[in-house]
């Protein structure tokens, strides 16, 4: 009788532990996904894809909260202060996780210490584009042109510290060129000056730039990934341009799912598995690829290694170039 009671007690304890670690908790508390940028961009798209499926599959309310500002720092800080129960999640970006910690000197949080990596979501390369009047047709002729005119050419970005900005800084460093950086408050402000020839080049997001590339308003020189993008396979990579200095040029804008530090390992595992299931659905993959996003769900260990390697890379570049946040 004692053994039967012990066995029953163990079963109850096990079921209780499973219930406590189940996600999402079936309660009145919704799941919220914080997006650190305005609606419509890649982070917002990914958040809404996850929200749509989680809400349908788990019968739990899922809310996407856009908290833009300060290069993503406002929304990131909000996530770090949330209760680590799996009901507040964050769409992390290469900027908020591996650039901003070294660009902003007085952050009230530590992105590495105060956030829990859950899973890698997707990535998209940038693309080097030129105003159509610039007399260069590939990376080799562009580098030669820029080297012959130090400080005369300029490139635009959507803001200091963005992956677009750092793509330009890395390009200059590797090719020994001096190209003026002209930061704007966003892509909407930067593109008109690029089209009008007031700046000559930019490292734009590939999916955003494609309509202008296809219309002939911008010239595509190369994507910033090591492999050609499935979204635009006709555009070569900068690494295959024949310029030795650009042989290993790689900058991708990537997106991840994060939570507040201190989350239960079982919750992290469950959320990562659910995310992988959703991003592996054929209709979801097709939808994201059509937007230039390449889904590649990977768990917390792989994501943590990426955060560490990119942090080392961008902190070095920021220190060497003296980039400072406004």
CATH number, domain containing residue 288: 3.40.190.150
133-138 — which CB contacts under 8 Å span 24+ positions? 133/197, 134/200, 134/201, 134/219, 136/219, 136/221, 137/219, 138/221, 138/222, 138/236, 138/241, 138/242
In total, how many domains does the chain have?
2
- 164 and 148 co-located in one domain: yes
Is 15 within a domain?
no
Is 115 within a domain?
yes
What pLDDT score does 47 carry? 96
- C-alpha distances in angstroms, 326 versus 100, 148, 151, 170, 270? 12, 30, 22, 20, 39
- 216 and 302 co-located in one domain: no
What pLDDT score does 18 carry? 40
Q: How far apart are CA 222 and CA 141, in angstroms?
A: 12
Q: How far apart are CA 65 and CA 38, in angstroms?
A: 10
Is 104 within a domain?
yes
Is 13 within a domain?
no
Q: Dihedral through CA 108, CA 111, CA 114, CA 120, nearest 10?
A: 150
Is 150 within a domain?
yes
- 210 and 181 co-located in one domain: yes
- 96 and 156 co-located in one domain: no
- 201 and 243 co-located in one domain: yes
222, 252, 282 - which closes a domain: 252
CB atoms inside a 10 Å sphere around CB 50: 24
Is 262 within a domain?
yes
233, 252, 271 - which closes a domain: 252
Domain extent, residue 171, equals 125-252
What pLDDT score does 207 carry? 83
- 101 and 248 co-located in one domain: no
Is 19 within a domain?
no
Is 10 within a domain?
no
- C-alpha distances in angstroms, 70 versus 82, 168, 189? 19, 21, 17
Q: Name the β-bridge partners of 93.
A: 255
What one-character DSSP code corresponds to residue 236? P
CB atoms inside a 10 Å sphere around CB 89: 26
- 120 and 262 co-located in one domain: yes
From 78, 93, 237, 239, select the one nearest 159 (Cα to Cα).
Answer: 93
- 237 and 286 co-located in one domain: no
How deeply is 168 buried, as exposed, middle or buried, from its count of CB atoms within 10 A (0-12, 13-18, 19+)? buried
- 235 and 149 co-located in one domain: yes
What pLDDT score does 292 carry? 86
- 260 and 272 co-located in one domain: yes
Residue 259 contacts residue 116 (beta carbons within 8 Å): yes
From 56, 67, 2, 5, select the one nearest 31 (Cα to Cα).
Answer: 56
- 47 and 159 co-located in one domain: no
- 259 and 243 co-located in one domain: no
The enclosing domain of 209 has a CATH number of 3.40.190.10
200, 234, 252 - which closes a domain: 252
Q: Where does residue 182 fall: left (phi above 0), alpha (psi -120 to 50 degrees), or beta otherwise?
A: beta
pLDDT by residue, tens only, the chain of 326 residues = 544 444 444 444 444 444 444 667 656 689 999 999 888 888 999 999 999 999 988 878 999 999 988 889 999 999 999 999 999 999 999 999 999 999 998 899 999 999 999 999 999 999 999 999 999 999 999 999 999 999 999 999 988 888 889 999 999 999 999 999 999 887 888 899 999 999 999 999 888 899 999 999 999 999 999 999 989 999 999 999 999 999 999 998 999 999 999 999 999 999 999 999 999 999 999 999 988 899 999 999 999 999 999 999 999 999 999 988 86
What pLDDT score does 17 carry? 41
């Amino acid at each position: 009788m004692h053994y039967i009671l012990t066995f029953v007690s163990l079963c109850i304890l096990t079921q209780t532990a499973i219930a406590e670690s189940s996600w999402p908790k079936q309660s009145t508390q919704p799941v919220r996904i914080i997006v650190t940028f305005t609606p419509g961009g890649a982070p917002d798209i990914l958040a809404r894809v996850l929200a749509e499926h989680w809400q349908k599959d788990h019968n739990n309310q899922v809310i996407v909260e856009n908290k833009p500002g300060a290069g993503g720092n406002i929304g990131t800080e909000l996530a770090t202060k949330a209760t680590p129960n799996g009901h507040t999640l964050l769409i992390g970006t290469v900027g908020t996780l591996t650039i901003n910690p070294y660009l902003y000197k007085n952050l009230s949080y530590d992105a590495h210490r105060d956030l829990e990596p859950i899973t890698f979501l997707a990535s998209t390369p940038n693309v080097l584009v030129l105003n159509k009047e610039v007399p260069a047709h590939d990376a080799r002729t562009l580098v030669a042109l820029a080297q012959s005119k130090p400080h005369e050419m300029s490139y635009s970005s959507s803001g200091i510290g963005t992956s677009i900005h750092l793509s330009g800084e890395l390009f200059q460093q590797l090719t020994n060129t001096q190209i003026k950086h002209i930061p704007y408050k966003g892509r909407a402000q930067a593109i008109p000056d690029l089209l009008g020839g007031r700046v000559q080049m930019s490292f734009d997001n590939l999916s955003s730039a494609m309509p202008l590339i296809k219309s002939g308003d911008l010239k595509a020189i190369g994507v910033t990934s090591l492999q050609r993008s499935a979204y635009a396979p006709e555009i070569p990579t900068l690494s295959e341009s024949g310029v030795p200095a650009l042989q290993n040029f790689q900058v991708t804008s990537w997106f991840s799912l994060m939570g507040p530090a201190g989350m239960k390992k079982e919750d992290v595992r469950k959320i990562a598995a659910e995310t992988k299931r959703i991003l592996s659905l054929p209709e979801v993959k097709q939808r994201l690829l059509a937007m230039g996003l390449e889904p590649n769900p990977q768990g917390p260990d792989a994501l943590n290694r990426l955060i560490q390697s990119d942090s080392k890379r961008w902190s070095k570049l920021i220190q060497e170039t003296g980039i400072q946040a406004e």
